[in-house]
Chain A
Amino acid sequence: MSDEIKHLENLSNALTVNQPIQEEQELTTLNLGPTHPATHGIFQNILQMDGDKIVSGEQTVGYIHRAFEKIAERRPFYQITTLTDRMNYCSSPINNFGWHLTVEKLLNIEVPKRAQYIRVIMMELARISDHLICNSILGVDTGAYSGFLYVFQEREKIYEVYEEVCGARLTTNMGRVGGMERDLSPTALAKIKDIVYNTLPKAMAEFERLMNRNRIFIDRTVNVGSITAERAMEYGFTGPNLRAAGVDYDVRVMEPYSSYEDFDFEIPVGHNGDTYDRYMVRNAEIWESLKIIKQALENLPEGPYYANEDHYYLPPKKEVYRSMEALIYHFKIIMGEIEAPIGEVYQAVEGGNGEVGYYLISDGGRSPYRLHFRRPSFIYYQAYPEMCKGLTISDAVAIMSSLNVIAGELDA
């Protein structure tokens, strides 16, 4: 009752003697999401606001949980590839090849150099398209729309390459256990060369001219959502977000897979771990990826594009029609009757957002006994309320963009 009287007194004072309304310290609860246009995905954040400052927040995740780990326990190994590309759908080929590498490690398959190089080219194209999306959308969220349109043309070209290489654009299911399902066609090679030598560097240079020294963009991003290197490591950050905080951890360099040791490239790092650093690290990584693709194209080895592993790699169709043996293998693989050896494997690849890990336990059966995906978004997204503390909603949106949280990867 006394509260109400106080409130009325406040109001009447405000009206009569023109005093400001003195309210008690009261926090506003605000729902950001789950379907908010600025969050680019299904994220819910229940924020406690003091005026327009964020005091604390709690994320709700799991809106698009699809039980991939459970489904994987009943699928043959080759069918699990289609689950992996639905995780980080901005760079599906990286997830696909990560899974193939895991199975190849379990089966002890040595993939020919040519296939490894083709994989590197595709993975780096995927990384570029992932970073392009992240950075250009960050521009959109901070009010710069046109940069987004320039680089999205390039992303479209990368998707055309996917289409040429595997027939699909978004959920690629690229490659097979033991290599690639087909060689790079001359058209695909021409398209990749056009992107790498011609159109992408120009578009990127234009994009960087628009954004990097843009006064408004700098004001919106510098010192927004910074995180120290120690804190980022405690929270399990990986990928560009960790490197922006100054830790030069990159799976491609620390545990090279798929011949990454053959290429000469640098790991860009930032200083503050703020939104601007994350943006700059991603931009620099696009240039490094271009460098890797150029080297891979120049040194692309001749030879087979798949390993000679009859038990695991589908025989060519021509042979299936002519030879009895090939027909048997074809049937066994398609029906999922191939048994994997007993084993336990952890394979990490550097995804668009950081270390994508595959923890596979095989009990000698036709599908995994247990398969766990280490999803970088899921792990670093828990730091989000801490990074938003004391900032405004518009900053929170920019931070979420720059973290590149992908709903599919978050919820598996």
Chain B
Amino acid sequence: MLSNQEIVEELAAHFGDKVLGFEEPHGLLTFTTYPDTIIPLLQFIKESDRLRFKFLTDITGVHYPDAQGKEFCAVYHVHSFENGIRIRIKVYLPKEDPSIPTAVSIHAGANWMERETFDFYGIIFTGHPNLKRILNMDDMDYHPMRKEYPLEDATREDKIDALFGR
């Protein structure tokens, strides 16, 4: 069985300072990497005999409008069935150029996950075979999960945020 510490050592040996910010929220190893490292990293952890992270569980996005130069975050959950362990990889992207290479060549299932992330956050997956909207309609001209689109009607005066929830 593999421990989080061993994974950290293995990754640090191969990627040096390209992998950073290791933490373990609720026991799940989480770290950050850069857009140009993510594909070699996914490839390495998939093919490494020791790590065997062969299963891509999920790709999703997060929007942090206040973080300068790190407005968008692509989150990858990867799973190693043989070792029974998961890791979470984060890549922060600036709002001027929210683009990251596609993982479709490594995990075929990344196709729709990336399309969904593009649809809701506008994160561009360069090299994707068919990067178009998936759940929203094609002629929509914005990315609805971004924080600048509030859920409630902004003109309503009867709902005061300070009193009701957020």
Residues of A within 8 A of B (CB): 61-62, 65, 67, 69-71, 73-76, 105-106, 231, 233-237, 247, 249, 254-255, 335-337, 343-346, 348, 355, 357, 359, 361, 365-367, 369-370, 372, 374, 378-383, 411-412
Contacts and interface: CB of A to CB of B under 8 A. Distances in A.
Contact of A62 (B58, B136, B165): B136
Q: Counting chain A CB atoms within 10 Å of each CB, which of B30, B133, B164, B166 scores highest?
A: B166
B46 to A, nearest CB: 10
B3 to A, nearest CB: 16
A374 B58 contact: yes
B28 interface: yes
Given A61-B135, A234-B109, A67 B144 contact: yes
Nearest to B120: A69
B33 interface: no
Interface in B13-61: 25-26, 28, 30, 54-58, 60
Given A65-B135, A357-B77, A372-B60, A344 B30 contact: yes
A366 B136 contact: no
A65 B120 contact: no
Given A73-B151, A357-B77, A374-B58, A62 B135 contact: yes
Contacts of B151: 70-71, 73-74
A115 B152 CA distance: 36
Nearest to B25: A344
A348 B145 CA distance: 23
A370 B166 contact: no
A366 B165 contact: yes
Contacts of B86: 346
A379 B114 CA distance: 11
Contact of A61 (B30, B107, B120, B134): B134
B84 A411 contact: no
A236 B56 contact: yes
Contacts of A249: 55, 81
Contacts of B152: 74
A359 B109 contact: no
B1 interface: no
B145 A69 contact: yes
A379 B25 contact: no
Chain B contact patch, size range: 35 or more
A237 B112 CA distance: 13
Contacts of B111: 382
21 contacts: A61-B135, A62-B135, A62-B136, A65-B135, A70-B151, A76-B165, A105-B26, A231-B108, A234-B109, A249-B81, A254-B81, A344-B26, A346-B77, A346-B86, A355-B57, A357-B77, A359-B58, A359-B77, A379-B113, A380-B109, A412-B135
Interface in B117-166: 120, 133-137, 144-145, 151-152, 164-166
A378 B54 contact: no
A247 B81 contact: yes
A65 B136 CA distance: 7
Given A105-B26, A344-B30, A367 B165 contact: yes
A367 B77 contact: no
Nearest to B23: A344
B91 interface: no
B102 to A, nearest CB: 14
A75 B137 CA distance: 25
A168 to B, nearest CB: 25
A347 to B, nearest CB: 9
B26 A70 contact: no
A336 B77 CA distance: 30
A350 to B, nearest CB: 13
Top-8 shortest CB links A-B:
A236-B109, A62-B135, A65-B135, A372-B60, A344-B25, A234-B108, A235-B109, A374-B58
Nearest to A369: B62
B112 A374 contact: no
B57 A236 contact: yes
Contact of A359 (B60, B133, B166): B60
A137 B122 CA distance: 38
Nearest to B106: A234
B89 interface: no
